[in-house]
Structure 1
């Protein structure tokens, strides 16, 4: 039996379903403003590419995945996500001594900074 969870507990790869129960895709990224505890929506990997699902289109977030009000026929028409919060990055690529790691840490991206001992 699935249990409701907070959007903050939602994991990449969670299944996103249409209003009819069909699989739309998987969660790529939760779009949020943590300083306001504001859930804006989801970047969802679909067979049409990466699509934005607005928070108003989400009817439930559970341990089984995300339920939406979206009909399966509407997926292709969903907008692609945009903005600074939309990333398709591997945080591990910024670890280490390489130039990419240095560049990221130089511009003070929090997930690029080394932890202090």
Structure 2
């Protein structure tokens, strides 16, 4: 892994920032930072498709080890990341205060919203 620079806040994390596993393997790039800036709550990031993973993935804040100027390092294997689901109403009904489900729902809602 190249020099990732200094640690940063989620507020400074840019779309297009590379995402890596804990052992330095590239995962993809940040496609969107999910946060409620007014309440200063960082939910996680949507990771865009890559050559090895042709799907969007959602990394909840608890699945992220560190944020750097030039990279995001995950704390879990790629297989533990969630793919934003297609059944948002069902996910909303099943949340039960589960922060990962909440984040996955928000990731899906961002993906299906016209940009």
- TM-score above 0.5, yes or no: yes
Matched, 1:79 2:70: no
Q: Aligned Cα RMSD in Å?
A: 2.1
C-alpha separation in 2, matches of 1:63 and 1:85: 27
Secondary structure (helix, strand or coil) at the match of 1:86 reads helix
TM-score (norm 1): 0.65
What corresponds to 2:30 in structure 1? 27
Gaps of 5+ in 2: 85-103
Query: Are residues 1:50 and 2:53 paired?
Result: no
Larger radius of gyration: 1
Q: Say if 1:35 and 1:18 are closer, same or farther in 2 by CA, change over 3 A.
A: same
5+ long unaligned stretches in structure 1: 91-117
Partner of 1:68: 74
Q: Is the 8 A contact 2:47 2:56 kept in 1?
A: yes
Q: Which runs of 4+ in 1 moved over 6 A?
A: none
Q: Which residue matches 2:19? A: 16
Aligned length: 88
Q: TM-score, normalised by structure 2?
A: 0.66
